[in-house]
Amino acid sequence: MLNRRFFIFSTGAVLTPWPVMAADTANDSVAASLAEAMANDHGYPSAGMVAGLCNARGQQIVTCGSADNGRALDGDTVFDIGSLTKLFTSAALADMVVRGEMKMDDPLGKYLPADVHVPEFAGRPITLLDLATYSPGLPGWPADMPALAAKPFPDYSTGQLYQALSRLTLNDAPGTHYAYSNFGYGLLGLAMARHAGMDFESLIVSRICNPLGMESTRIRPTSRMQERISPGHFQKLAKVASWNMPPAFAAAGAFRSTANDLLKFLAAAMGSKPSPLAPAFAEMMKTRRPSDKPETQVAAGWFITSGHDDTLIWKDGGVLGYSSFLGYSAARNSGVVVLANGNSGVLNLGKHLLNAAFPVQG
- Distance, CA of 323 to CA of 41 (rounded, Å): 12
CATH number at residue 280: 3.40.710.10
**Where does 25-80 have alpha helices with state H?**
25-40
Query: Within a domain: residue 88?
Result: yes
For residue 361, tell me if it sits in a domain: no
How far apart are alpha carbons 296 and 99 in whole angstroms?
Answer: 29
Residue 4: the pLDDT is: 38
Sheet with 48-55, edge to edge strand ranges: 58-65, 48-55, 334-340, 322-329, 310-319, 303-307, 296-298, 289-290
Please report whether residue 360 resides in a domain: no
Helices (H), 242-297: 250-253, 259-270, 278-284
Alpha-carbon torsion angle 315, 319, 321, 327, nearest 10: -10
**Residue 26: its pLDDT value, please?**
60
Q: Is 344 left (phi over 0), alpha (psi -120 to 50) or beta?
A: beta
The reported pLDDT for the residue numbered 19 is: 56
Show Cβ contacts of residue 158 under 8 Å, excluding neighbours closer than 6 positions. Answer: 190, 246, 247, 248
* Parts of the chain with a pLDDT under 70: 1-26, 42, 149-151, 362
Predicted pLDDT of residue 306:
97
Query: Residue 239: beta bridge partners?
Result: 233
Angstrom distance (rounded) from CA 336 to CA 354: 6
The pLDDT score that the predictor gives to residue 57 is 84
Q: Does any domain span residue 21? A: no
Question: What does the pLDDT read at residue 345?
Answer: 80
- Distance CA(105)–CA(296), nearest Å, equals 23
User: Where in the sequence is the domain holding 42, given as residue range(s)?
Assistant: 4-16+26-354
Question: How many folded domains does the chain comprise?
Answer: 1
In a domain, 359, yes or no: no
Amino acid (one-letter) located at 6: F
Whole-number Cα distances in Å, 277 to 99, 100, 271, 304, 323? 11, 14, 10, 20, 26
Q: Is residue 320 part of a domain?
A: yes
**Cα dihedral 219, 222, 223, 229 sign:** negative
In a domain, 198, yes or no: yes
Q: Is 247 inside any structural domain?
A: yes
